[in-house]
Amino acid sequence: MYKNTSTSNQPSKEELLSLLKKHFSYTSFRKGQFELMSEILAQRDVLALMPTSAGKSLCFQLPALALDGLTLVITLLNSLMQDQVFELQSKNIPAFCINSTQDLSQNEEVFKELRKARVKLLYVSPERLQNEAFLNFIKKQKIAQIAVDEAHCISAWGQDFRPSYLQIADFIEKLGQKVVVSAFTATATPLVREDIISALRLKNPFILSSGFHRENLYLELFKGSLKQKFAKLFTFLQDFKGQSGIVYCMTRKITDELHKRLYIEGFECEKYHAGMEADERLKAQESFMQGKTSIMVATNAFGMGINKKDIRFIVHFNLPKNLEHYYQEIGRAGRDGLKSSCLLLFNEGDIMMNKKLICTDDKAEKLIQNELKLLEAMQGFAFHKECLKAYILAYFGEDLGRNCDCCINCKSEFELQDISIEAQKILSCIIRMNEGFGISFVSEILRGISSQRAVNLGFDKLSTFALMKEKSKAEVDTLIKELLTLKLLEQSKDKYPVLKTLPKAKKVLFNNEKVFLKTRLEDKEHMLEKESKIPKSKAHSFELESKDEALFLELKKLRLKLAQHENKKAFMIFSDKSLISMCKLKPQNELEFKAVFGVGEEKFKNYAKDFLSLISKVEHE
């Protein structure tokens, strides 16, 4: 595979470049790659913190060709293993995997190749390491490197903690060989990094952080109701028509529903989540990867190991559970270096749903509290009014040192509103309520709601009762949440969180420190105009019941066919409003068809027969 012609024990840069060009067709290394490979070849443990698309895999694959012995790659997903093995084998690199998707004969063939020392890279799951038979076999082979992908999974403080990763260090000890350990992750806070080093027992590791800043990604936030989120999504997707992108959803149910809506509106899209059959998922993935379908609507089950370089946009239809997931998922856009957009759509309901999912999960209380803390950081990002990329980089322990000029906050103008008086009223009320209640009840007291609970607790007698009676619930709730964002308040991590004042609150209450609400200036009339310009099909699609969506889609197909045949615009056959009327009325004869909205004598004469036939066919299927 490789013959060392240098006088030292490890290959020179020129020799590595020769290997790189021969097997991977690259002529140069990316930032940090050569330094990292040099440390691995010098038998020093490494921890690599590299964003998606920075070339992490190459950093253990190329050294594997130069090292004397086998590189064991520990990774999470069977699909990811198989994709990487297929890609390496296509480059004439002897790489194999052992996993549960292969039958016994396939795995036995791999063991045969291992016995003959003809394997350079072997991919396995962390669970495989706990198999006694596998351990007894593999320890007889010469192991040169253990590469741990997605290393953040070893940390209980990380977003994807996997207990099986904790067994890796013991497995390495049982090998009884001197091996170099290389650990890779795209998302790790300083705390998680320390955890990785400790749990993997890395010895004086070389740590490389190639930087988390992706200059070609534009970040945008949009907070709105469900209907507003749909409207924003439709206009956004229209701008990227025909280009590849992923729309992430919080749950399988939301994925199914959004996929239906987009499909009905004429967007080419597939869906992907763990509730689908394996062959359905594979078919959807292949359609997206091959460019047959431009949009993938999915849960976060989709994406890991997906090597599609021309993804132009990532949309989060709901707020992710943590910044690690968010950053990893937007990192799938623009892997070719071209400018790409990342849109986060969210509302208060997303936050509540995330909290519910976290708190009802069957996990230890310590892990639940940690996940709530991660969600809090994600929530802080969503409401952040300064540079969004600076916020992300600070979270991962980096200082951007400037505004990115590539996010909605850096590109927008803001106005400052003095809310010092309102802040004092809210903070005073919370203190007088002994800092023991949540947002809703505090809001009620401030607005002067004399509920039985308020009377029983004597809160209707507080000096702060009804101090904000002129404001609506939404206004008071928003102000309280703004104080949370400004770190004047915090919420307890209990199942029913209560509001607590933070040290900064004293300066506002006793030192008259000013508090400002920073609001992005948006031309609301322009926003309304944009929403009104959404094609009527999109505005009216919400009027359909789910059972009628399939019929609506078939009617649109027939309309397009007739329009093409007659060389007309589709709306000249029937408007979307007429098609929706057909879905609701489901006419079965000519008399009933005349009752459809927009059907005049000419349209009745030309199209009644075709549309009645289709309606009857779909209704009886």
SS3 per-residue string spanning 198-243: HHHCCCCCEEEECCCCCCCEEEEEEECCHHHHHHHHHHHHHHCCCC
- Residue 234, pLDDT > 90, answer yes
Confidence of residue 496 (pLDDT cuts 50, 70, 90): confident
pLDDT at 546: 67
The token duo for 506 is: 């004293």
Rounded average pLDDT over 452-460: 95
Domain 415-521 has CATH 1.10.10.10: yes
* Better-scored residue on pLDDT, 64 or 560: 64
Rounded average pLDDT over 244-249: 96
Please name the residue ranges forming H helices in 8-153: 13-24, 33-41, 56-66, 78-90, 104-115, 132-138
In words, the CATH class of domain 543-619 is: mainly alpha
| CATH number assigned to the domain with residue range 217-411, chosen from the 4 options 3.40.50.150, 3.90.1170.50, 3.40.50.300, 3.40.640.10 | 3.40.50.300
What is the rounded distance in angstroms from the CA atom of residue 106 to the CA atom of residue 191? Answer: 41
What is the rounded distance in angstroms from the CA atom of residue 343 to the CA atom of residue 313? Answer: 8
- Residue 536, pLDDT > 50, answer no
Backbone phi and psi for residue 256, each to the nearest 5 degrees, phi listed first: -60, -45
Rounded average pLDDT over 574-596: 87
What is the rounded distance in angstroms from the CA atom of residue 595 to the CA atom of residue 611? Answer: 13
Q: What is the mean pLDDT of the chain?
A: 88
Q: Which of 171, 173, 200, 170 is nearest to 185 (CA)?
A: 200
pLDDT at 522: 60
Span 55-67, pLDDT tens digits? 889 999 999 999 9
- Residue 5, pLDDT > 50, answer no
Rounded average pLDDT over 530-545: 43
Span 157-169, pLDDT tens digits? 766 788 899 999 9
In words, the CATH class of domain 13-209 is: alpha beta
Cα 103 to its chain centre, rounded Å, is 33
3-state class of 365 per DSSP?
helix
Structural domain spans, the chain: 13-209, 217-411, 415-521, 543-619
- Residue 523, pLDDT > 50, answer no
Cβ neighbours for 199, distance < 8 A, ≥ 6 positions apart: 154, 155, 165, 166, 168, 169
Output the pTM of the full model: 0.69
Task: Give 275's DSSP letter.
Answer: T
pLDDT at 269: 95
Q: Are 394 and 380 a contacting pair, CB within 8 Å?
A: no
pLDDT at 158: 66
Rounded average pLDDT over 184-202: 90
* Better-scored residue on pLDDT, 460 or 416: 460
In angstroms, what CA-CA distances link 175 with 50, 111, 129, 566?
A: 28, 17, 11, 74
Q: Are 538 and 497 a contacting pair, CB within 8 Å?
A: no
13-209 and 415-521: same fold? no
The token duo for 206 is: 């070389």
Task: Concatenate the DSSP letters of all residues of 308-365 into one string.
Answer: -TTEEEEEESS--S-HHHHHHHHTTS-TTSS-EEEEEEE-HHHHHHHHHHHHTSSS-H
